[in-house]
Amino acid sequence: MVHQYELVSAGIDWLTLTSRDAQTKRRMAEYFSRVEMDDWRLGFKSKKGGAHGFLGTKVRHGLLAHKEEWSMLQVSGYQAQRTMLCNSAEGNATRIDVQLTVRVGPGEAPSILQAIEDAALTAHHKGGRPAAVKAIHGRQGVETVYIGSRKSDVFIRCYDKGVESKEAEYKDCVRLEVELKGRVSRALWKHCAETGDGVSYLLQVLKHYLEKNGVPTQWCGVPWEPKQPPKAERSSLSRTMSWWARSVAPSVAKASREIGWTMPLLLLMGSTWSEFQKTAILNAASICWGS
């Protein structure tokens, strides 16, 4: 690993925030207005946009959209760096990306990324299965290392920011980034609202996830110590569905093999259907799967 470095940037790189609280929604709208104005000055026009069923206004670095009493704010890139201004206990952060970008020696990014891949592949994990590691190679060597699954609540990306962005200001820069979603991002956002912790704390959490997955960070020279994130509590519905998948589904599958699918389906769902719905669903299922 190279021992000369220059910290280029560190902080939030993406935030998706939803809320139906009036004060939080007002903060979100005010923040989006600043992003919209900055993008307008850069020549980016506002247009209609949406995501996840929310509809509203989209600009180059942000989206403000609504669905019934809910509002959603998405902000990316450098415009996301101050989104902690929107932090409140009434906000629901469904995604937070935290990044650390370091300038290394000329041409050294591929070798650093190769070392990161090697370290992640050989990392020792205390319990549980190790995260999947995938590397993308370019002409000069490793350009990107992915650790984990994009569908999981924690997904790590380590990559050559200069190659990815094609911008001169990021030449010879390595970015270490963690994408946090679901229960993990919600718990972090709530923790920050309750304690007053901010971006420095999120960077400590970033280092925790990097080191937990074998990615060395000492070479970066940054002052933050790793800190374990708050425990992400599971909702009662989430626990129930996990129990269904673990205990109920195998029994249903066994019964279906022995007596067919009709009786298990009626026992599980029949009480929630009207007689008309019951007849229509069973007839449609019989046509698709047979009796």
Residue whose entry in the numeric block shows the structure tokens 């989206």: 63
- Is the per-residue pLDDT at 289 higher than 70? no
In this prediction, residue 255 carries a pLDDT of 81
DSSP 284: H
In the beta sheet, which residues pair with residue 76? 14
pLDDT tens track for 90-100: 999 999 999 99
Which of 80-84, 162-166, 218-222 shows the lowest mean pLDDT across its residues? 218-222
**Residue 237 reports pLDDT greater than 70:** no
| Per-residue pLDDT, 2 | 43
Q: What is the pLDDT of residues 19-54, one digit of tens each?
A: 999 999 999 999 999 999 999 999 999 999 999 999
User: Exposed/middle/buried for 257, CB within 10 Å: 0-12, 13-18, 19+?
Assistant: exposed
- Reading the block at residue 277, the tokens are 């719905």
